[in-house]
Amino acid sequence: MIFSRGLGYSVLNGVVILVRAISAVIVNKLVVVFLGPSGLLFLGNLKNIYTILQQICGAGVYEGIVKYTSGEYRNRVSQVLQAGFSLMIIGLLIAALLFGFFSSYIFELLNLTQDESSLKIWLSLGVALSLICFVFHNLLQSFFHGKMEYKMVVLTSAISVMLTLILSVLLIYFFGKKGVVASVLLPSVLSFLSYSFFTKSTSQFLKIFKKSTFDIVMIKPLISYTLMSVLAAIVFPSVLLFIRFFLTINTGLEMASYWEGYSKLSIFISGLAISSISLYYLPKLSQTSTSLEIRSVILWGLKFILFIAVPSLVMLYFFGSRLIPLLYSDAFLSAFFLLKWELLGTALKLFSFAISFLMIAKKMTKTFVVSETFSGIFFLLLSLFLIKHIGVEGASMAYAGTYFVYSIWVLVYFNRKFKFFGKN
């Protein structure tokens, strides 16, 4: 029962995520066509910078709201929402200050010249609008996700994804680099606006949100998710920014651009799989209280990966030589040797995430902080070592190696802690 029902939710959400992934692929193709392979580096750096700002705004609060509105505080939904909103507003102000303070460095990292002042203004205004919309959308979606109204979550996502795809293609085609910036910032705006199609449900949210008076005590249980969010914002996006910079210096702009293309492909695949199961997976893990219940949910996640994700990765490897020119250009085939390492790393990442989701579901803040910090530093150091001795292939090998070590750790640690693979 748990498998069939969960599979239904995940497949439904998976269709939306698939469209989002296809949208990202189309955007990447247009970037390569209009800006060349180096345009992918611009897009990758911009996405990482925006992701950092999103996480500071309190993206991690989303998981906290989902956990508590579907679990122990389901009778205090109003106060959970108010506390989450307060934390996200504080995060928004911090993100805005950081962007303003480091704007010159950000523009330099994006290789924006003095002649591109209009693009800098476009970027600054777009980031401000997008982050505001991100906060409100995050609050709305976490509410419906926590209430397990999957249909609402999927429908609003579907609307925003389709609109983002159409507008991104048009903007990149007509405005070039400005269109690329818009393609990164548009999803948050359109995701928020998509709820305007469901006025009845949105009114229900507003009624519940204003139902109770603000209780500052409710902020405490959400703080751990905020800390996890901020840490996630600092570690891996920063590591990727540094690896791109190191690759460009040591292997050249061209090879660094090719690595970015293959790296993006692995991110699309893992994002597709993780997003497909997380809609159902996180609330179910949050509700588990015994080892048997945890085992049941985790085995469902592992089955999803084994029977759907892994075969897809194998097929992608065998048809990769035909697919890569379609996704990017024939020039990217010169770095085709990166694909096997990226796909291996993706498979290991999905396996480890199916188990490590427990850190979010069970609010294991200290464990998350240690594991995220260690894996990020390990990935960075291994990348620097292998890039220096092997070249661009070292970055992809480091990706696979990091998740190999991480998979062993999560399997041993969480089985010892929860004993979900024990005989009883």
**Cα–Cα dist 122/125, whole Å:** 5
| Residue 161, pLDDT above cutoff 50 | yes
Identify which has the larger pLDDT, 93 or 418: 93
Residues 26 and 42 in one domain: no
Instruction: Tell how many helices (H) and how many strands (E) occur in the chain.
Output: 19, 0
| Residue 199, pLDDT above cutoff 70 | no
pTM score of the predicted model: 0.77
Instruction: Quote the pLDDT of residue 117.
Output: 82
Residues 198 and 140 in one domain: yes
Residues 93 and 208 in one domain: yes
CA-based angle 382:31:117, to the nearest 5?
95
C-alpha radius of gyration, the chain, whole number: 21
| Residue 389, pLDDT above cutoff 90 | yes
Number of structural domains the chain divides into: 2
Residues 308 and 162 in one domain: no
Instruction: Give the domain-ending residue among 173, 197, 223.
Output: 223
Residue range 221-279, pLDDT digits in tens: 777 666 766 676 678 888 988 999 899 899 988 899 999 999 988 887 887 777 767 66
Instruction: Give the domain-ending residue among 223, 253, 285.
Output: 223
Confidence bin at 95 (pLDDT 50/70/90):
very high
Instruction: Quote the pLDDT of residue 99.
Output: 93
**Cα–Cα dist 356/351, whole Å:** 9
Confirm whether 16 is domain-assigned: yes
Residues 146 and 203 in one domain: yes
Instruction: Quote the pLDDT of residue 84.
Output: 85
**Cα–Cα dist 424/98, whole Å:** 51
- Of 364, 313, 362, 359, the closest CA to residue 339 belongs to 313
**Cα–Cα dist 226/275, whole Å:** 20
Confidence bin at 3 (pLDDT 50/70/90):
very low
Residues 76 and 177 in one domain: yes
Residues 179 and 276 in one domain: no
| Residue 133, pLDDT above cutoff 90 | yes
Q: What distances in angstroms separate CA 205 from CA 50, 61, 329, 391, one per listed residue?
A: 28, 17, 46, 52
Mean pLDDT value of segment 29-46: 88
User: Helix (H, G, I), strand (E, B), or coil: what is residue 36?
Assistant: coil
| CA quadruple 52, 57, 23, 160: dihedral, nearest 10 | -170
Residues 11 and 137 in one domain: no
- Angle (deg, nearest 10), helices 77-101 and 61-69: 180
Residue range 282-336, pLDDT digits in tens: 777 877 777 788 888 888 888 878 887 888 889 989 998 898 998 888 889 999 9
User: Helix (H, G, I), strand (E, B), or coil: what is residue 210?
Assistant: coil
Instruction: Quote the pLDDT of residue 143.
Output: 83
**Cα–Cα dist 19/16, whole Å:** 5
Residues 263 and 204 in one domain: no
| C-alpha count within 13 angstroms, C-beta hemisphere, residue 351 | 21
The rounded mean pLDDT for the chain is 83
- Counting residues of the chain whose pLDDT is more than 70, the rounded percentage is 88
Confidence bin at 1 (pLDDT 50/70/90):
very low
Whether 331 and 262 have beta carbons less than 8 Å apart is answered as no
CA-based angle 333:335:339, to the nearest 5?
95
CB within 8 A of 73, min separation 6: which ones? 79, 80, 218, 221
